[in-house]
Amino acid sequence: MADIETADAPGGAGEDVVTTARAWLAQDPDAETRAELEALLSSAEAGSADALAELHNRFDTRLAFGTAGLRGRIEAGSARMNRVLVSQAAAGLAAYLLEREASPSIVIGYDGRKNSSVFARDTAEIMAGAGVRAVLLPRLLPTPVLAFAVRHLDVSAGVMVTASHNPPADNGYKVYLGGEDRGSQIVSPSDAEIAEHITRVAAEQNVLELLRSDAFETAGEDLLDAYVEQTARVMTAKPVDLNVVYTAMHGVGWETFSRVAEQAGLTPVVPVEEQQFPDAAFPTVSFPNPEEPGALDLAYAKAREVGAELIVANDPDADRLSIAIPDASREEGYRQLSGNEVGWLLGWRSAVLNAEQSVPGGVLACSIVSSPALAAVAREYNLDFVETLTGFKWVSRVPNLIFGYEEALGYLVNPTTVRDKDGISAAIDFLSMACFLKDQGVTVERALEAFAEKFGYFASDQLSLRVTDLSDITTIMAHLRAEPLQELGGVKVAEIDDLIDGFGSLPPTDALRFVLADGSRVMTRPSGTEPKIKFYLDVQRPNDKRDEASVVLAAIKSHLAAIAEQATA
């Protein structure tokens, strides 16, 4: 999906979709998608209603370029990811950069997904043809390396070809800006301005006629060396013998992570061999996202085999981090920590290190759907706390940031180096903490207990409803606005904040915040990258009343599930 919504495109009800599809076919440089579309057209012209409906699905809309860039299934059509769409995006982005600067430049990276290298080379050739200095990363590499390269090379922009943790059939196109944006992902109004240029290119130009050039540069290995060197510095504790299992989830993380870990002085990490190297088919997981059930099964098996003290997992482009710790009470033998739990610990660690270095000021930040626990840490250590909209494009832009996170496994531990979530530097930071704790005879589990003792007990959970009809998301949000909730899980709703027109310092976003009488909080919003509506639940109690927090959390979750089911019935 691309920001869930799609933009209007030629080929709607007022035009012959077959004619539109044939015009698209005529400029498609990809033999695979051409053959696919030709077969679909033949079936439609032979009278197949299903084929005609599929053409409408592919061409009645256009994959919208937004703050998440582009993301969708690799297939022919304006509502899909393919070489035509990517070429239009590259030409539109080039026009945007040339409008801003006399001599713009761009660095382009790509992961191991299907067509990632093809889309990256198309972008490099079109940028060079348009007069933009283009630098292509030397091979498939993690997203954080691309984010690092934007600042390291001091270029105007960056493009990363990746669909992160989406299903195997997807790919995407993520855009960063240099200069004053300091290598962060794009935000409004840049997204709309780029989208305008892309739309104009699509309307006026045949992509086969776009000027292309092979006069782009290829970055040297020294760029990756610099990332490895600077990321290894995140390791501030004395390395100790630590038995760690790592999975790259069939993505691009292993080479870079293992190099950083070695340079940081860590004990050699044990990889999950079946998932160690890039594989666009993602054969061992149905959904290559560490948050999804079953995704860590092979990592659990390897950890049991070697007696691991920790499991470290990156998603396929290595910008997210998941951690699991030993837990004998579970069948797997391990417990996966929530994104909030990892965020609490890393945030606490950053606050302590900041205090030890006597650095004045500083900000801890997280997204509005992340746990309020980080605010408690900031208060304790006399740091400022900032809540942002969801998405690291917002977290990374917070001034004076020393640590930022979002509950969806995204962490920024070294903002002077990378202005985006970075699953590799976050993993090194967590392992540095684990080494320090082990040296003191303390486990990660005990550190979580200490957090609750010091700051209170925070219980968090999520309810995600995947839909097949995107209108269901609109229906549920409209229902919640039209019929304001009076109570949730037996607790009175004290306040409802509708963020659709902005709230306080927050820009507008489609979200609702319910504050309950006992201080509990529920955030509701459509997912920005998947066909889901998400509810984020947070309950806080003193540590000696943690059982009460769990009961309230379960009651709220059950109530929300019933409301969502009723709204779409």
- For the annotated catalytic residues, the residue numbers are 164
Distances (CA, A) of 473 to 120, 408, 564: 33, 20, 10
Is residue 151 within 8 A of residue 183, CB to CB? The reply is yes
Residue closest to 95 by CA, chosen among 155, 26, 161, 157: 157
- Exposure string of 364-379, with b = 16+ CB inside 10 Å and e = fewer, is bbbbbbbbbbbbbbbe
First CA to last CA distance, the chain: 24
Amino acid symbol at 494:
A
Q: How many CA atoms lie within 13 A of 412 on its CB side?
A: 30
Angle at which helix 143-152 crosses helix 423-439, to 10 degrees, equals: 100
d(CA 456, CA 539): 11
Residue closest to 418 by CA, chosen among 177, 231, 218: 231
Is residue 568 within 8 A of residue 477, CB to CB? The reply is no
- Exposure string of 140-166, with b = 16+ CB inside 10 Å and e = fewer, is bbbbbbbbbbbbbbebbbbbbbbbbbb
Three-state SS sequence of 357-418: CCCCCCEEEEECCCCCHHHHHHHHCCCEEEEECCCHHHHCCCCCEEEEEECCCEEECCCCCC
d(CA 211, CA 502): 42
Burial of residue 1 (CB within 10 Å: 0-12, 13-18, 19+) is buried
| Strand, coil or helix: 185 | strand
Strand ordering across the sheet containing 457-466: 457-466, 532-541, 521-526, 512-516, 491-498, 487-488
> ∠ at Cα 159 (155, 163), nearest 5°?
155
| Strand, coil or helix: 171 | strand
* β-sheet bridge partners, residue 506: 503
Is residue 45 within 8 A of residue 142, CB to CB? The reply is no
- Exposure string of 309-326, with b = 16+ CB inside 10 Å and e = fewer, is bbbbbbbbbbbbbbbbbb
d(CA 36, CA 169): 15
Residue closest to 433 by CA, chosen among 540, 323, 552: 323
